[in-house]
Structure 1
Amino acid sequence: MPDIAGYRLLRMINHGGMSTVYLARQHTLGRDVAVKVMSPQALADEVSRRRFENEVRTIARLEHPHVVRIYEVGRTVEGLPYYAMPYMARGHLGQRDYSKSERRVVEIANTLLSVLGYAHSRNIVHRDVKAENVLFDDADRPLLADFGIALRKDWGGARMTATGLAVGSTAYMAPEQARGEVVDGRADLYALGVLIWEMLTGRLPFEAQDALSMAVMHAQDPIPKLPAHLAHWQHFMNRALAKQPSQRFEDAAQMRAGIESVMQRSLLPALRDRLHRLAPLQQYAKPIWAVCALLAFIGIGVLGAEYLSRRNTPDATPESAADAATISAHNEVTTAMLKPLADSPARAAITTARSRIAAGQLTAPIGANAYTSVLEAWNADATNAEVLTVVEDLTDAFAGTIATQIRDGNDARAREVYAMATSLAQQTGTAASPAWLRLRGKVETAVKSRFDSAAKRYDHDTAQRTVQLVTDFGLAPQLGADFASRVQKMPRMGAVLPEGGVLRAGSEGAVAVNRVAVSRSDYARFVEATRRTPSLCRERASFLRVIAPRDWRSPGFFQKEDEPVVCVSLQDAEAYASWYSRRTGQQWRLPTSAEASGTPAQSGNRAVSLWSRDCASGCTRRVASGKSWRNSTAQRPLLANRGYDDVGFRLVRDLQ
């Protein structure tokens, strides 16, 4: 445990991603306190630590009876920020069940609104309102704790952890806070709305298996329906949990008024509490109900006898019988008119969902996308066969989008869509459906294909990121192990590849640079196959062009067949590369000067310069790189349409 001057740490109370809380004894006053020590990852640099300490000192000056006070702020011997506060031995709100007492829920909510209204008026946003931060003192009063990560609105931005996650707990976090946007007090009111829902029902409004899926549900999913006995809270919740801050309660006072309106519209909470307290009297209720049932049975018998006697009396006239028939027919027509249509309540949502799937609006815009519409249809009529079909349609569309994003390297987007697909499967109970299995198959195929493509290009970075996708998408661990092993065996930059060439970083990805220039024998096979006419190898104005012509076969000096071919123009070299690509099924081309510079060419006994792709003089000339037996210049621009007796060429292969 950390070492803190003036305190003896007794045991750990709680541990989270940002901090650890310890029960400690304060030496000077001999009292038990809670000490929260921030983790190194939460405040990674000195600037953030000092800002945090200054903010804690500001929080310590908050004077409100329902705010957990801060006794002291300082640094551990190891240099980590900490602050000391009262030790609340009676636990937190998450350990209590108030689902049978709306009165107590309202009391706690109003207390927390008092605290938040007080803090917001001083430009302080709590940012982590949740059940675990509502503690109870010895008088059983609720107090709001952990203002230590609160953020002043004038800081101008959202604080992020070292891992890039927005500060706060995703189960209670407002959508804009999860996105890392600037937040105000309405984010706290959203979190309090979640907390009120949890107190009323005993469950969170949104439940997911991981933080990302939870954040997606808060941002995208429709607000759930409360149980029937809590329906009088639905309008309040629709506003408290609105996706857009502008649609929520403006401030704590407005939210308190909303709660008062709920209570004025319903007497059920008080009645329910009374019935709960009268539960022990239920043993006397059974005899009373039995007597009432007997009296009701006798009454029904008397009325039935009277009805039968009147029915058997032969004084009914034809007119009265006709009137009765007319009334009966009228009643049947009225009943038929008032009978609800057989159409499913999910019909509109199904139609909207299909149009949005067709338009590619799977997850955007927020609140008006296929994901939202499908869940609306599901919540309206989960047994409807068309609803199940549109769930499958959206799952298939998700599968295609995820596969595309994986292929294109947009890993963050792929993870986001996968999280929404997972949320859809969990909420609709389709995690074992054929559509979900197809999605899983497409994801695995896309991951394998991307890795194989990266391995073929010796692209370490893409291959390594693809290994991580195996874990992110829950694929077989053995697949990740195989990928990792193959990454370790990949050649590094500068290595000689098994199929020839040196691995280099090219202008558009990795390339294999041939160290050996194209030989006379190689070029001869090309000429034989294509019947290409030799290029001139002298100046046009030269008299020697006529009496002593030169070309690649007769450059003016003796060459062996394995020596570099010369007297070929740049167009000749590019034509050879195109022919060789068709022949091998690979992509060959001339290198740029930069690609070739790191790999010296092997040009035989007579040094030659080599053509490159680099342009000069508006591409009427091309750059020949390297010194030759005629010229000591490292690079020189030459006419592209003729050959030179000291210039050859070599190729590079694009690894795609």
Structure 2
Amino acid sequence: MNDARHATRDEMPQVAGHRLLRVIGHGGMSTVYLAEQVSLGRKVALKVMLPEALADEVSRSRFEHEARTIARLQHPHIVGIHEVGRTEDGLPFYSMPHLPRGHLAQRDLRGDQPRVAAILRDLLDALDYAHVRGVVHRDVKAENVLFDENERPLLADFGIALRRGGNPRLTSAGLAVGSTAYMPPEQARGLEVDRRADLYSLGVLGWEMLTGRLPYCASDALTMALKHVQDPIPRLPGVLRHWQPLFDAALAKRPEDRPASAQDMREALDQVERRAGRGFGRVEVPASTDASSSARASRLRPRLALAAAATIGIAFVGAWWWMARVTAPPARNAGIDAVPGLPAPATDAAGGVLAMPEATASPGQSVSAEGAAYVANANQQIADGRLLSPANANAWDSWDAAWRINATHADVQLLTARLFDALAEAATAALGRADAGGARAFFERARQLDARRGGDGSAIALLRKRLEAALAAQLDRLLGKRDRAAAEALLASSAWITDDPARRRAWQARVAALPAKPTTPVMPAVAVPASAPAPVEIVTVTRTEYARFAEATGRAAAECGRAGLFGGKRSWRTAGGRRGDAGPVACVTAADAQAYANWLDAQGMGRHRLPSAGELRAQPLQPIAGWTTLCADADCARRMASGKLRALDAAQGYPDVGIRLVRAR
């Protein structure tokens, strides 16, 4: 049987009104011909779907419907569709302008920052235009960026595009569609995608233009897809470091961590140019340290369409079950995370580990592969600063799962050391912020980790010395400010740091030697309006701080409505803006706020209460990343947001309402 991909002139499809001249391209789902549209005497590119790509009438009709939808996209940076129809053999086709200037993969733009930025802006404009009309491309790659005679980039091949609300797959076996070299993690796992998938692929494309190589290199498509799912975001060379924040956002593993829209990504691109200043020109980019991998990836890239690679499809069918587990949160048991399919650890009444069960592999299960997936997750989570939260999606959870699968593996041992160092750094940093409670949470996990690995206590002793030094520095700072009350509170909440009574007595003596702040001299009595109370210290509760409370108490997340068109239900775990865990917590109720204040008090971290409206007026607070989340009176029956009273349901969570507390001095 003749293959349409290698058709001779006589074997070319017959298309009414067109004279096919030659084959100019192949894809996983189609063959592209140079043709002449007879009625207008113009050259067109005519894309004919392969018989195996659309095997039944339902899929062919759906393709034609999608093609007609895409044909309505009229944008200067989108390749338009002239006509949609069928060949005489019944194969669907569509015709589009013939652009003979080639595609982006044929151009060397390495280090040419102005040109790369200009192309990205044009493509972002095109994607924004398509996205607001409900169309997601899903196959943004270098070969799909064509150039017209004015060297203007145009985004082509919306052939596997998705209208919002449609089926996200063109295959019936649950396989992802697209090119794995540019494929976002959720698409590689066969999940539904939205416009943020296109932004991820465009991030890969931007990286490739700037550096001359892909961010992830592999010798086969399956490994390439797994790298997108598991591997940390790579680092750019120093001459391009001002681009790193853009790629950190665009290549985020989770869609919710990426720019929300093409317009947002364009604004981030503008910031790159502002950060670079005069350095935003052509630069010399160092050659890859892995030239062989880059060369292999370059040769492989045109063949990375899953719909055309049978071996990839077979591999993905067998891999979906455990790839989903790479990012699926393990179940929890008595404070220690349980790995699906493995026995839970025995614990004492306080939740300490008494004995770790031996991991056993079920038939057909690759323990080393699964452990490697948890190791990769943990390394990424450490890099992201997600050490203990959010629950079931943090470095501790991933490390624990890998440890219980194969604690003696070299990669797991290295991860253990890396996690210990990260916990030590986090504890020290928290103490530097006078957050003794947070420092203790990180310290206790570090101590538990050291016990699990059979440490002799020397590492914990060194960590205590670091924390003692951090505590001494923080006390020096407070005493220098003559803030005796804050120094006393910090000293009281950090008794766990040292077992040396002499050292603690010395600290207490220093604090006690500081005279209390002098009382205000007696002045003639002046009437003070009741609406102007004395200033108080008001603190904003971050998502990291609230996560510790929720994890310790098991408090359920409040109802907070839907996240929007492309997301699921919103909760305090997902709301919070671009600052992430460091930003204010949101989607919490009045009862949540009061329970958190009570918990702080029970932890010995001072006295806390909800502020009154008068206290808020007396001490205006600037919004943090757009969030002002305040209770307007003591029982939080009303709330204040952005400086205005709002009649809100105290039992309902809101995405712009969180927690601020008065901390007693």
TM-score range, shorter chain: 0.3 to 0.5
Q: Radius of gyration: which is bigger?
A: 1
TM-score for the superposition, normalised by structure 1 = 0.44
Greater helix fraction, Structure 1 or Structure 2: 1
